[in-house]
Each structure stands twice: as structure tokens, then as C-alpha cells.
Amino acid sequence: MIEAHHLVKRFRDKKRGTVCAVNGVSFSCRPGEIYGLLGANGAGKTTTLRMLATILAPSEGTAIVAGYDVAEDPQNVRSRVGFLSTATALYGRLSAREMVEYFGRLHGLDELTLRRRIDEIFARLEMNDFRDRRCDKLSTGMKQKVSIARTLVHDPSVMIFDEPTVGLDVMAARTIVGFIRECRDSGKTVVFSTHVMSEVEKLCDRIGIIHDGKLLAEGTLPELRARYGMQDLEDLFVRVVEP
Amino acid sequence: MSLRNIGIVYRKELTDSLRDRRTVISMIVVPLLIMPLLTIGMGILSVTLVGQAMKEIPKVMILGGEDSPGVVAELGQLKDVRIVPAKPDFAVEISDKQIRAAVEIPAGFEAKLAAGESSTVKIYMYEGELKSGFGADRLQRFFRELRDRTIREHLQARKLPDSLVRPFDIVQKNVAPPEKVGGAILGGLVPYFVILLCLTGAMYPAMDLTAGEKERGTIETILCSPVSRTHLVLGKFLMVLTASIATAVLSIASMAVSFGAGKKFLLGVTHGAADAALQITITGKAVVSIFFVVLPLAVFFSAALLALSLFAKSFKEAQSYISPLMIVVVMPAVAALLPGVELNPALALVPVLNTSLVSKEIITGTYHWNLIALIFLSSSIYAGAALAITVKLFQREDVLFRT
């Protein structure tokens, strides 16, 4: 479960002074649901998700993720969250197995559980052919699988995806989309950010349209279509952000 | 404080770094190669070069001396100089290394010698040039012997003893043990290289583990883990410290071995007539003591390098921050090599210089325990402060996500 209450994030910028990247964002996402944050580049999606993953601390407001407050108990939040984005790269000099093992250990798994969990994930994601190959020698698709394995190793109840398909080819992107669906189907709480309309239509149970750091509209796709009287999501999005 | 988490981060960073060729080169290969190169290589080079210079028979020019045929003839008979015909542009020839030196014999030189009148013989040379120095020395020796011989002849003619012009002799005698003499000559160089290698050994891993992670996009990945940022930075710091200490230990060990081998070699080359510089012996006690005084400095370097590189957005930016640090470290390390700079309580508080000076003393076998304790304490305080700053910086979002 994720409950974001009036999340605000301000940065100090040398040229622009104080910048408010996220300005009072509130939403919630239940287990077994995919919540899509739809927004253009610079809208505040990444900053919002980083606050939920406790990589950044909110300037104001708070969020309860998997029962823990992001500001007061960030370590417990991180223990229950799997965070995947194109910015979360792999350690090139470690093998696929070592990479996942490292994160498993950091999540406090004992060696027996870790080995069992790795065998299970590697078999499910068909990673056994390259389990001992160094990450910098892997193809983009293989790297994506290692990243997925890394986010799954501790069996988190909440999954956060920040534009996970950016820069990926069709096959690698399909792997990710399939994985996000699997997460929902297994009862995980999933938040997903994107600016690709087709992904939103395919995946999201509920959508939040974010612009200039503010959440401008929220609801299921049919609800939003009915509210704005538009079928095409792209037209709907433009209408919301440029009224 | 979870030692388990720090240990996990440290083990991963160690594995990762040991698979990185550049870290292995700076941590292992450089210290293992640089010391033998410096001692044996430089020794061979200097012995060979000086030997070659000594073998060469210098060409010298005699200016004037037409009315002193005896002196000119005697100079011509010298086997270790070759007389070449006089030319008016002798100064240019010396500067161009065509000839090594020239001697100007004043008019009526022999007549003045016989009459007991004073005159001046001028020797022209290229100051600082080794071979010109050998030529000029040979000429000076010849005229000094001629002067002594003339004095003796004048004294004998007047039936006076030699002691009239040489009432007593002066003998300078060294009482310091040979290892101290050797240590004083070469002792400063050793800590200089150990300190420098300690810094360079930590440099690459520090940049790789911070700015390198930012550049490769792994910093966000690791920040997703539940490990606290303090544990993360401490694990990374321990890896950088390991690299720094490994470089220092390997350089000290390699230095001890190379000194032993280099000494035997140079004693062989010089047929046992080695000078005091070769008498340097690095004892086990000195090695251990140097290790302990260098340890807090290694902590200081590791933390400072980590903090500086953490601030950088990329590897390249980190390099530009760290390069000036090299100069900041080299300057006090070099200052310890300057003559007359001796360890005192005030200098014991100056970072780097204090370690360099105390190591120099340790090599010569001098142990000022009060000062050693003061240095260890002050260096530990600097190291602790640098580490605290690094840990603090790792908590700051504007540093970790600097754009």
C-alpha cells in the first residue's frame, strides 16, 4: 500500500534559486493495483517516485509505504520496496549472480534463503545461461532481467518503476511490461511512471496526470475519458496540462 | 552501527575493485615496480653515467703561456687531459661542450714564479656540467701541485721547513654511525615516496567508488538498498583505505627488498668503495614504526579523496579536484627533504610534513617517542575530521544528486 500526502520537494538551484519540483502531490495505490503517473519530462514524476523510494527526503508532506513513513523510517520502507528505473544501473564488473546476491545480502537475507531465492528468480526469468557472466558483457535485455532480479530478490510488497522502458528495444520493453503485470497479479502494490500513452493504456488501473509538480487529474482511464469527454489519451493529456 | 552491512559493502567493493585493471595497477603494480626502479634503476643509471663521464679524457685549451714553455710542456704530458689548439671563442666552445675547460696562463708566468711574484691563473668552465667539472678539476689539481712544488722549492732555497706555510693539518671525521649518515642522505626520500604512493593508491578507487558510480548510474541502485548511507560510505571508505595501505605496505616491502638488492649491486659495481648513502639499512622496527605513523595519514587521504570525489559529478571532474591535492601533499612531503628542516612540536602538528619528518628520523634510527605520539594523535584527529565530513557529505542529496 502507498499513501502519499501532500508531497513537496524543493531544490536549491544556483541559477534558478529555489525550485519546487513536486508541489503537494497526494495519491494512494492499493495492493494488486498499478497506479500510473503520467507526465512530460520534468513534470516531477522521478522526484515523486524517488521520495516514495526514500532516495530523496520530502521537503514537506509525507508518504506511508508498506506501512512505514518515508521520512521517519526510510530503511524499513526500502526493505519492502523494489525500485527500478533506467537510472538504476548494474555493477559492470560483477556477474549477474553476484549482483543479485549483493542486494540480497544488503536486504538481510541469510545465505540459504538467498541461494533458494536466486535459483527461483533465475529460473523464472530464464537467466541461468548468463548467471556467471559479467554484467558489462550482457545485452540490454539480459541487463534488464538482472535489474528485475535485483528488485525482486527480497520479495518486496511494493514495486516502483520510473520510466522503466525508456531507451529499450521492443523485446526488452515487453519483458518489463510483462514483469509489471506479473507484479500486480501477484498482489504487489505497483506505481509506474511514464510519458508513453500506450503503456498507460495497457497497464494502469488508475492514472495520475502530473504537470509542473502538481497532480492535475486522477482516476481510472474510463473515468478520465468520461470526465473530459475524450477517447484519445494523448488528447486528454494535452487538455489536462494545457487547459 | 551494523558491522555486517559495512562488511558486505566492503567485500563487494573489494571484489569489484580487484577486477578493475586501473585499480590493480595503481594499488599493486606501481608500488612493486617504482621502488626497484628508483633504487636499482637510478643506481645503475647514475653509476653508469658518472663512470662514463670519468672515462672520457676531457679536451682542454691553453690560452697564453707562450713565454712559459715549461708549464705548457708539463700540461701537454698529462695523460688524463687532451690539449687542443687555442681559439679566441673558447667560451663558446665550452658552452657548446666542444671542449670541457680552458686555462689562461698569464704573461711572464714562469718568470714570476722564479722571482717569487704573485700572478693569477684563470680556469674557464661550464658550471654545473659534470664533464666540464672533471676537466676543470684536473687543471686545478695540476696548478695546485705546481704551486705547492714552487713553495717547497722557495723554502728549501732559504733552508726553511715546510711546516712554515703549513703549521697544522685539519682533519674532519664522521662519528655518526654509517646507517645514520646514509639515512640522512637518503632517508628523506623514502617517506616521500611512501606518502605519495599512499595517496596515489587511494586516488583511483576513491574516484571509482563515488564519482564513477554516479557516472555509471549505480549510485541510485545502491541507494535503493535498505543499508544506511553511513554504512555504505564506511564500506567504501574501508576499501579506499585498503588500497592506500596495500600500496604503502607493498611500497615499504618492495623498498626494503630493493635497498638490499641495490646495495649489493652497487657495492659490486663500485668494488666495495660505496659511499655513506649506500650504508642505509631499513630495520624491521623502522618498517613497523613507519607503517604506524603512515596509517592515520592513509585514513586522512582516503577520507579526503572520497569526500572530494563524492562531490564530483563525473570521473573527469573528480580528477580535476584531486590533481591540486597532489601538489598540496607533495609540497610538505618535499619540505621534509630540505636541509635544516627538523622535527619539533610545532611541525609535529602540520599534516603530511610531520609524517614525512618523523619517518625520516625513524629511518636514521632516531625515535622521539613524545613527538611520535603527538604526530599519531594529530594525524588521527585530522583523519577523524576528514572521515566525519565524508560521512556527512554522503547524507546530502545535493551532493549525491548534483546536476
Each residue's pLDDT tens digit, A38-64? 999 889 999 999 999 999 999 999 999
Return the CATH superfamily for domain B54-164. Answer: abc type-2 transporter like domain (3.40.1710.10)
pLDDT attached to residue A172: 79
- Interface contact flag, B12 A79, Cβ < 8 Å: no
Among A79, A91, A107, select the one facing B218 at the smallest CB separation: A91
| Band of pLDDT at residue B181, cut at 50, 70 and 90 | low
| ipTM of the complex as predicted | 0.90
Kindly report the average pLDDT of chain B as a whole number.
85
Kindly report the average pLDDT of chain A as a whole number.
92
SS3 B41: helix
Cell of B164: 712554515
Tracing cell 527461483 back to the chain, one arrives at A120
- Please tell me which residue of chain A has the smallest CA distance to B5: A106
The helix-helix angle for B353-363 and B284-311 (nearest 10°) equals 160
Instruction: Give B336-382 as a DSSP string.
Output: TTSTT----TTGGGSTTHHHHHHHHHHHTT---HHHHHHHHHHHHHH
Residues A109, A117: Cα–Cα separation, whole Å: 9
Residues B204, A150: Cα–Cα separation, whole Å: 27
pLDDT attached to residue B282: 66
For the segment B271-292, the average pLDDT, to the nearest whole number, is 66
Residue A91 sits at the chain B interface (C-beta within 8 Å) = yes
CATH class of A1-80+160-243: alpha beta
Nearest CA to CA, how far is A102 from chain B (Å)? 7
For the segment A184-191, the average pLDDT, to the nearest whole number, is 94
Bridge partners of A128, per DSSP, are: none
- Interface contact flag, A89 B218, Cβ < 8 Å: yes
For the segment B190-212, the average pLDDT, to the nearest whole number, is 88
Which residues, 6 or more positions from B97, have their beta carbon under 8 angstroms from its beta carbon? B126, B129, B131, B132
Top pLDDT among A61 and B276 is at: A61
| Band of pLDDT at residue B301, cut at 50, 70 and 90 | very high
Worst-scoring range by mean pLDDT, A190-194, B177-181, B236-240?
B177-181
For the segment A68-79, the average pLDDT, to the nearest whole number, is 94
- Count of C-beta atoms within a 10 Å radius of residue A179: 20
Residues A35, A29: Cα–Cα separation, whole Å: 6
Each residue's pLDDT tens digit, B216-229? 989 999 999 999 99
| Band of pLDDT at residue B265, cut at 50, 70 and 90 | low
Contacts of A12 in chain B (CB under 8 A): 398
Residue B226 sits at the chain A interface (C-beta within 8 Å) = yes
- Answer for the pair B256, B284: CB distance below 8 angstroms, yes or no: no
Question: pTM of the full predicted structure?
Answer: 0.80
Each residue's pLDDT tens digit, A121-161? 999 888 999 999 999 999 888 998 899 999 999 999 999 99
pLDDT attached to residue B37: 79
Residue A102 sits at the chain B interface (C-beta within 8 Å) = yes
Instruction: Label residue A190 exposed, middle or buried (CB < 10 Å: 0-12, 13-18, 19+).
Output: buried
| Band of pLDDT at residue B280, cut at 50, 70 and 90 | low
Instruction: With a cut of 60, say whether residue B272 has pLDDT above it.
Output: no
Among A88, A91, A94, select the one facing B220 at the smallest CB separation: A88
Q: For chain A, give every domain's residue range.
A: 1-80+160-243, 86-155
- Interface contact flag, B217 A88, Cβ < 8 Å: yes
| Band of pLDDT at residue B191, cut at 50, 70 and 90 | confident
Bridge partners of A219, per DSSP, are: A207
Tallying the residues shown for chain A, one arrives at 243
- Interface contact flag, B218 A79, Cβ < 8 Å: no
A-B Cβ pairs (cutoff 8 Å, strict): 63
**Residue range(s) in chain B whose domain bears CATH number 3.40.1710.10:** 54-164
Each residue's pLDDT tens digit, B59-78? 999 999 889 999 999 999 98
| Band of pLDDT at residue B278, cut at 50, 70 and 90 | low
Top pLDDT among A48 and A175 is at: A48
User: Residues A54, A46, B215, B23: is their CA dihedral positive or negative?
Assistant: positive
pLDDT attached to residue B273: 45
Instruction: With a cut of 80, say whether residue B274 has pLDDT above it.
Output: no
For the segment B83-102, the average pLDDT, to the nearest whole number, is 91
Contacts of B221 in chain A (CB under 8 A): 88-91, 150
Q: Measuring CA to CA, which residue among A160, A196, A185 is closest to residue A35?
A: A160
For the segment B127-151, the average pLDDT, to the nearest whole number, is 90
